[in-house]
Amino acid sequence: MTPLADMIEREFGTPAVVVDLDVVEANVARVQALCDRAGVANRPHIKTHKSPTLAKLQIAAGAKGVTCQKLGEAEVMAAAGLDDILISYNILGERNLGRLGALMRRVRVTVAADSVTTVDGLPRAAAIAGRTLAVVVECDTGMKRAGVETPGEAVALAKRIAETPGLSFAGFLLYPPPDRWPETQVFLDAASAGLRDSGLVARIVSTGGSPNLAHLGALEGATEHRPGTYIFNDRMQMAAGVATLQDCALSVYATVVSRAGPERGIVDAGSKTLTSDPGGLAGHGLVLDYPHARINALSEEHGFLDLSGSAARPIVGEVVRIVPNHVCVVVNLVDRLVTVRGDRIVGEIPVLARGKTV
């Protein structure tokens, strides 16, 4: 148990979600440099930190603007003074279109669409704002999530946007699976060719994902990238080969509350802190102090420690430090991040866009 762990327990209690700002700043600088070198703008996704404070840090380091997944996140960012916001989501429904219109009055907004239904609703927001709304066509190149499936559909939707009063066609939103960049290039080339025939230009060609940082610059025609997790990193990013343990800025400090059996224990970080999101990995986090221990199950307030493979074993009351599998969902569970620099507590950052799913 380190002196810092002891201080965190005394000041904040456990489980505590703790971020090292030295590591944050290094991550922000490194990825900005990667984007600069690749000749693409950086438009970080705020879903990871959900904090205007950290978004401003990214902007100050050279980011062009920010990406939000939901209107509620964008509203929080705009209220804090962020501008040039891409909402990478289909916005539907009278209520949301009204909110989008109000948001457009305050800041520059670009939104995504992958259907005629979405496109046909968006002029209502533009009318409320009295401004033209920039729309990118979301394209799917293998994620099978949102996004039109063919270049032909992408071009048709681009034309529809361009022909719709109040809207302007801004480009393409992509989220290539890390192993499908060649296919994504084929898709983009075909869509771009289709655009030329219509006299349209994709001003924005946006790619996403921290795991895709390994492919930055690989897509000819890309203008910007939307990495999120890189600011904190986690076991998923380590598994993807885009971060090392030294790049992991966020960890969960948890207390061992039970050692009922010799080969097992319980920490006070369960699924309400680490989340059940496995991120495709075995175990629910890396226990830095006991790397041979495994968190092999979670209930809401209990993390189940399997100590059978670990000669060193913690005692009840000991505070351990855990790197989560997936940081974005961990941040969404807390109202504040405790901030440190090295072995010193700095303060707290409120997670102002926590839970903004609407």
* 350 preceded by a cis bond (ω within 30 of 0): no
Part of the chain binding a second copy (CB under 8 A), chosen from 129-137, 177-185, 213-221, 251-259:
251-259
Strands 133-139 and 109-113: parallel
Residue closer to a second copy by CB (options 40, 71) is 71
Q: Cα dist. 115→55, 112, 121, 136, 152 in Å?
A: 30, 10, 10, 11, 13
CB of 313 closer than 8 Å to CB of 333? no
**Own/partner long-range contacts of 311-317 (Cβ < 8 Å, ≥24 apart):** 313/259, 313/262, 313/265, 314/256, 314/259, 314/265, 314/289, 314/290, 315/256, 315/259, 316/256, 316/257, 316/258, 316/259, 317/255, 317/256
Binds a second copy by CB under 8 A, chosen from 334, 349, 352, 353: 334
Neighbours of 216 (CB within 10 A): 19
Residue closer to a second copy by CB (options 199, 262) is 262
Residue 285 is classified by DSSP as -
Assess 67 for contact with a second copy (CB under 8 A).
Answer: no
Residue closer to a second copy by CB (options 38, 333) is 333
Binds a second copy by CB under 8 A, chosen from 41, 55, 63, 269: 269
- Taking the complex as a whole, the smallest distance from the CB of residue 118 to a second copy amounts, in Å, to 7
Encoded one letter per residue, x for contact with a second copy by CB under 8 A and - for no contact, window 293-332 reads ------xxxx-x----------xxx----------xx--x
Assess 233 for contact with a second copy (CB under 8 A).
Answer: no
CB of 174 closer than 8 Å to CB of 205? yes
Tally the residues of the chain. 358
Using CB under 8 A as the binding rule, the residues of this chain from 164 to 223 that contact a second copy are: none
Encoded one letter per residue, x for contact with a second copy by CB under 8 A and - for no contact, window 75-114 reads --------------xx-xxxxx-----------------x
Neighbours of 25 (CB within 10 A): 15
Encoded one letter per residue, x for contact with a second copy by CB under 8 A and - for no contact, window 126-145 reads --------------x---xx
Assess 46 for contact with a second copy (CB under 8 A).
Answer: no
- Taking the complex as a whole, the smallest distance from the CB of residue 131 to a second copy amounts, in Å, to 22
Q: Cα dist. 43→36, 46, 86 in Å?
A: 12, 9, 8
Binds a second copy by CB under 8 A, chosen from 41, 133, 148, 213: 148
Q: Total residues contacting a second copy (rule CB under 8 A)?
A: 65
Instruction: Specify burial of residue 123 (Cβ count, 10 A radius: 0-12, 13-18, 19+).
Output: middle
In the complex, the residues that contact a second copy under the rule CB under 8 A are 9-16, 47, 69-70, 89-90, 92-96, 114-115, 117-118, 121, 140, 144-149, 255, 257-261, 264, 266, 268-273, 275-278, 299-302, 304, 315-317, 328-329, 332-335, 355, 357-358
